[in-house]
Chains A and B, each alone.
Chain A
Amino acid sequence: MNTKDKLSLVPEKQKALYIICLFGTLTAYAISLYMLNLEFRGTWENILKELSILNRMFIRIDFSEWKDVLAAALESISVAALATIISAFFAFFVSFAAASNVSSKWIANICKVMTAVIRAVPTLVWALIFVAYLGLGPFPGVLGLFFHSFAYFVKAFSQSIEEVKEGNIEALKATGASWVQTMARGVYPPIATAVISWIALRFEINLRMSSILGFVGAGGIGMELSDAMRLFRFEKAGFVVLIIFLMCFGVEMLFQRLKLNVDKGVGA
């Protein structure tokens, strides 16, 4: 049989690229594994220890402090929702300045570089910086989440604006519409659904983030978890983990219909 008659696993045109990628991946994997130099001594005992902890967390789970835990969960949800709303609001206006097709190239590039830098620093680090300055509590948590989500939204929204057809903008300009009118009637309507799905996607990310913000002292349910684990109260910790799971799972179910698109993935 001729080899060309066989179905190849990857597109024929890009075979070289795939081979390079595969080779690079394997090399990177080998180097990382070698350099990380993991210890495997005592792993078996550790696994047994972990199983007994998991047993205490989830089999002998302790619901007695549900009031405190649920209050903390509500705080986490509030922090996530609030940060999402405020950052979406501010980012919506800034994103028009950051879109190169409706703004000047200079301003757009400055906005893009600034948001890229903000986004490159993880949310938890932002929260930690704010905690260092403002002290413990949900307030630095909201600010930390706000910073990162704002940059995310500016990038996401401006990407959607740049996808608006040039004809839309030109047609309105030709009628003598001002810049604001052009944005409101020509650019906003086609991106409205995209904006809403971006907000929903980010809320899902923010909820996950806000549930762990407490680890650095920024309030919410994460604080309950880290305190319980630190005091070896695994039975309570199990309940907290269950609540975190239910929160994240619920939001995932809620937004399942919004299909993720890898081309548009902005990265949490």
Chain B
Amino acid sequence: MQSEYLPLKKEKRLITWMGVAAVTFTALVTGCISEFNVLEAFRVIPGVLNFIFTDFLPPAVKSVPELWPSLLDTIYMAIISTITGAVISLIFALLCADTTAPHPLLKVTVRALASVFRNIPELAWTIILVPAFGIGKTVGLMALLIGSVGSMTRFFTESIEEINQSGIEAVRAVGGSYWLVLKSGVIPQCIPALVAWTLYNLELNVRSSTVIGMVGGGGIGFYILFTIKLFRYDHAAMAILAIAVVVILIELLSKNIRERII
């Protein structure tokens, strides 16, 4: 037994070392390409901390009335894009999940569309849309919506494909129409997963909507960029703090609801 075990252990150790070597090699090569120097990084850390603690902190509490409207806009954009996106994504997901797709051609088209939406980052969408629609909330909302539809279609499709097939077969066996299959066989089974994914996407959208303003999408991102460019770091710090609070609150809310429904 030992004779069988030892070579196996040796082989495993070899794989581990090869993995370590490959990762180290990658780190070195990528370090060269991006001109990153670990020593330099350690050298600047005290300076960065000093910069954060003396220039950014304490945050300017008096700037709250100034940034309040854009913070609210940010939250509104996240909410609208998530809910609208969830409805569109549900339709898309039903059209392109293997189990419910009405037509193979439609399935491929919707999947490709969702992939393009998802794999171009929301900030890039913002930059693409700004020249025509101008700087503002409309562009931010559109970019967030595009991104949400892209990622939620993927999440929803996976959830729909994972469900137990016997429910669908049972409805089909008694002669249920396509709509009845969806209504009684598919939706009831995956609704907790759909809600959970929507909440997860809300978290992502709140994060994205706070930065989308930096490239012209409206909301609090513009305020942060603007104040940092004017060296009003304490004002920027207040805005960043406000974002952090909103993100944490949304995360707690979403976690709470998710735990109840799953």
Q: How far is the CB of A185 from chain B (nearest CB, A)?
A: 13
Could you tell me if B40 and A82 are in contact, using CB atoms closer than 8 angstroms? no
**Contact pattern, B 17-36, Cβ under 8 Å of A = 1, otherwise 0:** 00000010011011101111
- Contacts known (A29-B79, A120-B244); A17 close to B34, Cβ less than 8 A: no
User: Looking at the complex, which of A128-136, A160-168, A175-183 is the stretch in contact with chain B?
Assistant: A128-136
Which residues 203-235 of B have a CB within 8 angstroms of A?
A: 203-204, 207-208, 210-211, 214-215, 221, 224-225, 228, 233
State in angstroms the CA–CA spacing of A17 and B262 once bound together: 12
State in angstroms the CA–CA spacing of A21 and B194 once bound together: 13
Quick one: closest A residue to B254, CB to CB?
Answer: A267
Which of B29, B119, B187 has its CB near the most chain A CB atoms (within 10 A)? B119
Could you tell me if A116 and B228 are in contact, using CB atoms closer than 8 angstroms? no
State in angstroms the CA–CA spacing of A132 and B138 once bound together: 28
Quick one: closest A residue to B78, CB to CB?
Answer: A32
Is A186 in contact with chain B by the CB < 8 A criterion? no
User: Looking at the complex, which of B3-11, B59-67, B101-109, B120-128 is the stretch in contact with chain A?
Assistant: B120-128
State in angstroms the CA–CA spacing of A138 and B133 once bound together: 30
Quick one: closest B residue to A7, CB to CB?
Answer: B184
Which residues 165-198 of B have a CB within 8 angstroms of A?
A: 183-184, 187-188, 191-193, 195-197
Which residues 109-133 of A have a CB within 8 angstroms of B?
A: 116-117, 120-122, 124-125, 128-130, 132-133
State in angstroms the CA–CA spacing of A220 and B109 once bound together: 31
Could you tell me if A117 and B244 are in contact, using CB atoms closer than 8 angstroms? yes
Could you tell me if B120 and A245 are in contact, using CB atoms closer than 8 angstroms? yes
Our pick among B48, B188, B240, B251 for the contact of A130 (Cβ within 8 Å) is B48
State in angstroms the CA–CA spacing of A232 and B240 once bound together: 31
Our pick among A85, A133, A267 for the contact of B23 (Cβ within 8 Å) is A85
Q: How far is the CB of A256 from chain B (nearest CB, A)?
A: 10
Our pick among A116, A120, A212, A232 for the contact of B131 (Cβ within 8 Å) is A232
Our pick among A21, A128, A139, A215 for the contact of B224 (Cβ within 8 Å) is A128
Q: How far is the CB of A10 from chain B (nearest CB, A)?
A: 6
Q: How far is the CB of A105 from chain B (nearest CB, A)?
A: 20
Our pick among B72, B80, B131, B233 for the contact of A29 (Cβ within 8 Å) is B80
Could you tell me if B120 and A244 are in contact, using CB atoms closer than 8 angstroms? yes
> What's the tally of chain B residues with a CB closer than 8 Å to chain A?
85
- Contacts known (A17-B261, A21-B195, A117-B244); A29 close to B27, Cβ less than 8 A: no
Chain B residues with CB below 8 A from A117, complex form: 244
Could you tell me if B187 and A9 are in contact, using CB atoms closer than 8 angstroms? yes
Which residues 176-223 of A have a CB within 8 angstroms of B?
A: 208-209, 211-212, 215-216, 219, 222
Chain A residues with CB below 8 A from B98, complex form: none
Could you tell me if A122 and B211 are in contact, using CB atoms closer than 8 angstroms? yes
Which residues 45-95 of B have a CB within 8 angstroms of A?
A: 47-48, 51-52, 56, 72-73, 75-77, 79-80, 83
Is A36 in contact with chain B by the CB < 8 A criterion? yes
Chain B residues with CB below 8 A from A124, complex form: 123, 211, 214, 221
Could you tell me if B207 and A241 are in contact, using CB atoms closer than 8 angstroms? no
Which residues 1-54 of A have a CB within 8 angstroms of B?
A: 7-11, 14, 17-18, 21, 25, 28-29, 31-33, 35-36, 38-39, 46-47, 49-50, 53-54
Chain A residues with CB below 8 A from B204, complex form: 267-268
Quick one: closest A residue to B210, CB to CB?
Answer: A122
- Contacts known (A21-B257, A125-B211); A138 close to B83, Cβ less than 8 A: no
Quick one: closest A residue to B41, CB to CB?
Answer: A143
Q: How far is the CB of A119 from chain B (nearest CB, A)?
A: 8
Is A248 in contact with chain B by the CB < 8 A criterion? yes
Is B113 in contact with chain A by the CB < 8 A criterion? no
Could you tell me if A82 and B127 are in contact, using CB atoms closer than 8 angstroms? no
Is A174 in contact with chain B by the CB < 8 A criterion? no
State in angstroms the CA–CA spacing of A85 and B196 once bound together: 30
Could you tell me if A39 and B138 are in contact, using CB atoms closer than 8 angstroms? yes
Could you tell me if A121 and B120 are in contact, using CB atoms closer than 8 angstroms? no
Could you tell me if B33 and A75 are in contact, using CB atoms closer than 8 angstroms? yes
Chain A residues with CB below 8 A from B155, complex form: 260, 262
Quick one: closest B residue to A134, CB to CB?
Answer: B44
State in angstroms the CA–CA spacing of A18 and B52 once bound together: 44
Quick one: closest A residue to B133, CB to CB?
Answer: A46
- Contacts known (A9-B191, A81-B26, A248-B121); A57 close to B128, Cβ less than 8 A: yes
Is A79 in contact with chain B by the CB < 8 A criterion? yes
Q: How far is the CB of A44 from chain B (nearest CB, A)?
A: 11
Is B135 in contact with chain A by the CB < 8 A criterion? no
5 contacts between A and B (CB under 8 A): A129-B56, A133-B47, A138-B34, A241-B120, A248-B118
The 6 A-B pairs with the shortest beta carbon distances in the complex, nearest first, are: A50-B132, A78-B30, A120-B244, A32-B76, A248-B119, A78-B33
Excluding A137-B35, A245-B119, 8 further A-B contacts by CB distance (< 8 Å) are A18-B191, A36-B137, A46-B134, A57-B128, A120-B243, A132-B228, A215-B123, A241-B128
